[in-house]
Amino acid sequence: MLWYKYMGGPGNWGFPNHWWGLILPFALIDLVLKGFALYRSARSGQKWWFVVLLLVNSLGILPGLYLLTHPYSKKSK
C-alpha cells in the first residue's frame, strides 16, 4: 500500500512524518502562552478570562491577545 509511505503508517494518526516538526513547536508555544495567561488572569482575579482561556483553544491567539491587552501590575499593600 503506497499510502503507508506517505502517511507514516498506522499509529501515526494520519500525519506525515515531516509535519511533526511544524506541529510540535506551535503546540509548545500555545502551552506556554496559555499557562502565562491563565496564571495572570487567576492572580488578577479575572474569573471570566480564566474560564474563557481555559476552554477556548485558539493556537495561542487568545492567550497572546490577553497578555498584550492586560499588562501585569503589582499591587502595593
18 belongs to a structural domain: no
Residue 14, in any domain of the structure = no
Neighbours of 41 (CB within 10 A): 22
Report, as an integer, the average pLDDT of 47-69: 87
Segments in the chain forming alpha helices (H) = 3-7, 20-43, 47-55, 61-69
Q: How many CB atoms lie within 10 A of CB 8?
A: 17
Looking at the 3D structure of the chain, how many domains does it have?
1
Please give the Cα distance from 29 to 59 (Å, whole number): 8
- Whether 19 is in a domain gets the answer no
Cell numbers given for 11: 499509529
Is the four-CA dihedral 41, 44, 45, 48 of positive or negative sign? negative
Q: Is residue 20 part of a domain?
A: no
| Tens digit of each residue's pLDDT (9 = 90 or more) over 25-51 | 888 988 999 999 999 999 999 999 999
**Residue 41 lies inside a defined structural domain of this protein:** yes
Query: pTM for the full model?
Result: 0.66
